Structure 1
Amino acid sequence: MAYAHLGVDVSDPATPFDSAKTFEGKLDHVCLAVRKLAPAVAMLERTLGYKPRTAPVENTRQKVVVQFLSRPGSIDIKLIEPASLDSPLVEFIKKGGGGLHHLAFRTESVEAACEDLKSRGARIVTAPEPGEAFDETPIAFAFLGMGLNVELIETDERRSESGPEGLAPDPKI
């Protein structure tokens, strides 16, 4: 099999994914956990040309502050910093210094995507709930293994778009 070197037999029905059916989500953004937003924004603007797409938004449910950055022709980068010392993100940053937190996939239905991922062996970490950075549209989180967390979202809209001075919503080409 094509994946035999990974120890996965896609012809085995016990394999945690169905090779005949592709997951329907589209990669929307990459999320990086940082100690502080401002220096991370400055570094990504200076080195990679990303510009703020939104102002910082506090997510009270997850105890983080979120800011999206965009660059024409690329997917967004979402930066998250702890909003308080009791944020679960503090421990994540202490362990590894920050870095890749999750990949986010946009889908038509977060609930259906959760069921699909569960059928493929993923563990749902956060059931669908309103996403403060996405104007309260549903989001959910799943753990796929290999240290990879996935966020599921239903919209490409962001709360607190930067407006005319920033990039327009969904600047992807």
Structure 2
Amino acid sequence: MLRRSLGVAAPVVLTLTSAPVSAGMCVTASSFVSAATFASRQPKGMDSSLCSGLSPTDWAYNTSWPMGVDRQTATFAEKLGSEPLSGFPAEATLLEILQQPASLEAHVAAVWLSAYRGGMPRPFEDGDAVKEVWVNIRNNGGFYRPMDLQLPPLTESGTLDWLATTWKQ
């Protein structure tokens, strides 16, 4: 019937690809902690948006940083509003921190650069929003505590995982 109506001699084959449901998704911290994230690939009932961030390693090797951010001299404290928590000198540059990609500060620096560049969803919509996230993490000793006090705080590794949702695909 399809061949008669279209006048095509052979059927057309359409191939669709699929990716993991969680690929490239940003999630809010409250969604991240309110779902059973360890029991499934993707938390349910979350407010998520596609993220376009770069990882600490990607930013460390990238020579095209956002305008107004000098790759060689911009310090973490200058751009994030306060010094790193530990393991880095107070005057550490963003680049020096990004070169330690497993650190909390490197994760925050990568998210800040991605947000400053633009195109990121809440709560990473701009550099100031990421500064607020950093203040929260800093005030809580290295982990993020959602504003909804009914929700449990993220663990240190949970905080890293949540920040990494901005670039993992």
Normalized against structure 1, the TM-score is what?
0.25
Normalized against structure 2, the TM-score is what?
0.25
